[in-house]
């Protein structure tokens, strides 16, 4: 029994469930229904519209999208994608399912990013004999708080938000997101959530789930959990780090080889080479907002150049350290971290394009890139050229132009998808082009 908002007579509420898709603007949208009818909706899905894909983050539609008012689709979900959270005080259950977008016959829609990730994972198994293990690590800031300053990374910074952290971890555990750490970060009122590695599709679903639940929990305290790349021009950025490793089809680790540079296996080295080669183009998907490029600058421990580094937080693709104490197995810990991503992107699309770029390197048998273990911006132009390092695009417009020039990357997508994506992003650029730096941060912080 639940009371009304005015505290008057209690009554039974109908629990709602929602089929959701996290779209190319990085926004989770969907349609709800009575949870008691879930079996029926599992069979038939819920209706969707192609032009929804053309919505900018600011809910203005790109008029140049390929569909206009025509067409009908379905959101179809499976029981394995279910998220249900009941531990949030004074709130109805948070109940949703990550869904694929299909045509009316139930076939994957060419422009569904979750289906695109699924196809990419199938290609890895079929062509490379590899399964992809992944995790999504995300930073965010709490806005609207009123508390004393506290040192970065400190216990005081965590405890002043109490019980936000414990409630968030409890909700994520109930959601099946397998959270590992909740920690105060370097930035003002900034926190980070990490979760256990899993199959790459599950990892991407968790990336979206964590954002949804963090915002839900923050709202209970009257705060906003913002995952925007920046919430103030001078502030520290909020990144999304994509961790990737491989096993063979029997589950044996396939990323680690202690005899090779950086301890990357030959197949992992080829993967890294593919990512580095196509990084300037895929940045248009992984750092997909106007604000994203104020974070991707040198000396910010984010990513600004196309390089592979070992334990180097200025490298866009970083080989992560392993725990080498007695009884640990470095082969099962070993992974690479892609750092040029943020929460303005769909985690499904971000992970998929990084994997597709790496698969191109595996297909071509590329040699592993050289390891860069210093700040690439401090190298001379000659040294950068020798190491094959180049600057990432410095604006969303430049990133879209670079994407158009990479025929390999554009060849991964249906024409309708690319046309819609570019039209939507050009519309987004136009919406915010006259904003000051402060206004730009505020606009994105409110949405993300």
Tell me what pLDDT residue 11 has.
Answer: 61
Q: Give residue 91's Cα distance to chain centre.
A: 27
Mapping DSSP to helix (H, G, I), strand (E, B) and coil, where does residue 383 land? helix
Distance CA 328, CA 253 (A): 14
Distance CA 214, CA 197 (A): 19
> Does a cis peptide bond (omega within 30 degrees of 0) precede residue 14?
no
Task: Give, to the nearest 10 degrees, the angle between helix 347-364 and helix 266-286.
Answer: 140
For 77, how many CA atoms within 13 A lie in the half-sphere containing its CB? Answer: 28
Q: Which domains, and CATH codes, for the chain? A: 16-111 (3.10.20.70), 115-410+438-447 (3.30.590.10)
Facing residues of 77 across strands? 99
Tell me what pLDDT residue 8 has.
Answer: 46
Mapping DSSP to helix (H, G, I), strand (E, B) and coil, where does residue 423 land? helix
Whether the CB-CB separation of 347 and 448 falls below 8 Å is answered with no
Distance CA 70, CA 63 (A): 13
DSSP string for 227-288: --S-SSTTSPP--EEEEEEEEETTS-B-SB-TTSGGGB-HHHHHHHHHHHHHHHHHHHHHS-
Instruction: Please give the chain's pLDDT, 448 residues, in tens.
Output: 344 444 444 568 999 999 999 999 999 999 999 999 999 999 999 999 999 999 999 999 999 899 999 999 999 999 999 999 999 999 999 999 999 999 999 999 999 999 999 999 999 999 999 999 999 999 999 999 999 999 999 999 999 999 999 999 999 999 999 999 999 999 999 999 999 999 999 999 999 999 999 999 999 999 999 999 999 999 999 999 999 999 999 999 999 999 999 999 999 999 999 999 999 999 999 999 999 999 999 887 778 999 999 988 899 999 999 998 888 899 999 999 999 999 999 999 999 999 999 999 999 999 999 999 889 989 999 999 999 999 999 999 999 999 999 999 999 999 999 999 999 999 999 999 999 999 999 999 999 9
Nearest to 199 by CA among 246, 241, 239, 240: 246
């Amino acid at each position: 029994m639940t009371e009304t908002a005015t505290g008057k007579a209690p009554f039974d509420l109908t629990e709602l469930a929602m089929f959701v898709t996290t779209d190319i603007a990085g926004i989770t949208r969907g349609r709800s229904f009575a949870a008691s009818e879930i079996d029926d909706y599992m069979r038939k899905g819920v209706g969707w519209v192609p032009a929804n894909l053309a919505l900018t983050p600011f809910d203005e539609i790109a008029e140049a999208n390929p569909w206009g008012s025509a067409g009908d689709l379905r959101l179809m979900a499976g029981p394995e994608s279910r998220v249900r959270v009941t531990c949030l005080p004074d709130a109805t259950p948070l109940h949703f399912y990550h869904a694929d977008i299909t045509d009316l016959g139930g076939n994957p829609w060419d422009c569904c990013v979750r289906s695109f990730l699924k196809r990419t994972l199938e290609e890895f198994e079929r062509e490379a004999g590899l399964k992809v293990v992944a995790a999504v690590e995300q930073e965010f800031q709490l806005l609207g708080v009123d508390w004393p300053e506290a040192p970065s990374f400190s216990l005081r910074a965590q405890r002043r938000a109490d019980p936000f952290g414990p409630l968030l971890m409890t909700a994520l555990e109930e959601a099946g997101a397998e959270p590992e750490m909740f920690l105060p970060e370097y930035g003002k009122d900034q926190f980070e959530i990490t979760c256990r590695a899993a199959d790459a599709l599950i990892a991407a679903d968790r990336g979206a789930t964590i954002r949804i639940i963090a915002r839900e929990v923050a709202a209970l305290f009257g705060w906003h959990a913002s995952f925007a790349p920046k919430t103030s021009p001078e502030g520290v950025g909020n990144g999304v780090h994509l961790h990737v490793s491989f096993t063979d089809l029997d589950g044996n680790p396939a990323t680690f080889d202690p005899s090779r540079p950086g301890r990357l296996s030959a197949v992992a080295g080829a993967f890294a080479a593919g990512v580095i080669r196509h990084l300037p183009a895929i940045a248009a998907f992984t750092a997909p907002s106007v604000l994203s490029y104020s974070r991707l600058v040198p000396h910010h421990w984010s990513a600004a150049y196309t390089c592979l580094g070992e334990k180097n937080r200025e490298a866009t693709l970083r080989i992560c350290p392993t725990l080498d104490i007695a009884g640990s197995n470095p082969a099962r810990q070993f992974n690479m971290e892609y750092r040029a991503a943020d929460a303005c992107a769909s985690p499904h699309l971000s992970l998929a394009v990084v994997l597709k770029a790496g698969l191109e390197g595996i297909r071509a048998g590329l040699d592993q890139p050289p390891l860069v273990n210093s700040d690439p911006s401090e190298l001379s132009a000659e040294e950068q050229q020798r190491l094959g390092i180049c600057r990432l695009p410095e604006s969303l417009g430049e990133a879209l132009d670079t994407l158009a020039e990479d025929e390999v990357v554009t060849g991964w997508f249906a024409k309708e998808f690319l046309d819609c994506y570019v039209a939507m992003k050009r519309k987004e650029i136009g919406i915010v082009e006259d904003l000051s730096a402060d206004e730009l941060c505020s606009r994105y912080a409110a949405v993300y």
